[in-house]
Amino acid sequence: MKVGSFMLNLTSDDAERLKAFYRDTVELTPNPAYGEGAFDLTPGAVIAIDGHSDTHGLAKEPQRALINFMVDDLRAEQQRLKAKGVQFIREEGKEEWGGIISTFLDPDGNYCQLIEYKP
């Protein structure tokens, strides 16, 4: 399939709270061209947060889809997020393939991860 751009759409019954988290805590860069609640992931990839009539409360299967951010300095980023009150459920876990992973929750309980991998 020829994909022009890619958009991950995260839905919530409190979209404003979720938008504030990704904007002010994770500190993603807003992408107003895609609308309010859209943020750049990489060039040509956007995450857009909005409401959905079927989405209520916390994620029931957060492990089914994980959003991973590849970072240079996992420890520093984790400390920054923890200082802002972000809840981590895994800290600096070592993977057999050599990477280090920390897992944190957004306000809806979706799983986000920091990954540091220096082959």
Partner 1 sequence: MQFNSVLLNITSEDPPRMAEFYTKVLKLKPNPVIGEGAFDLNDGTVLLIDGHSETKGKSKEPHRMLINFSVPDLKSEQSRLKGEGVQFIREEGSRAPRGPCRTPPPEEWGGVISTFLDPDGNYLQLIEFNPS
Contact criterion met (CB below 8 Å) for 13 and 55: yes
Continuous segment of H or E residues that includes residue 93: strand 88-94
For partner 1, the closer of residues 94 and 97 by Cβ is 97
Q: Which is nearer to partner 1, 66 or 90 (by Cβ)? A: 66
- Say how far apart CA 105 and CA 18 lie, in whole Å: 11
Binding site for partner 1 (CB under 8 A): 1-12, 26-28, 35, 41-45, 52-55, 59-61, 63-72, 77, 108, 110, 113, 115
**Rounded distance, CA 94 to CA 102, Å?**
9
Q: Give whichever of 53 and 85 is closer to partner 1, judged by the CB atom.
A: 53
Q: How far is the CB of 87 from partner 1 (least distance, A)?
A: 16
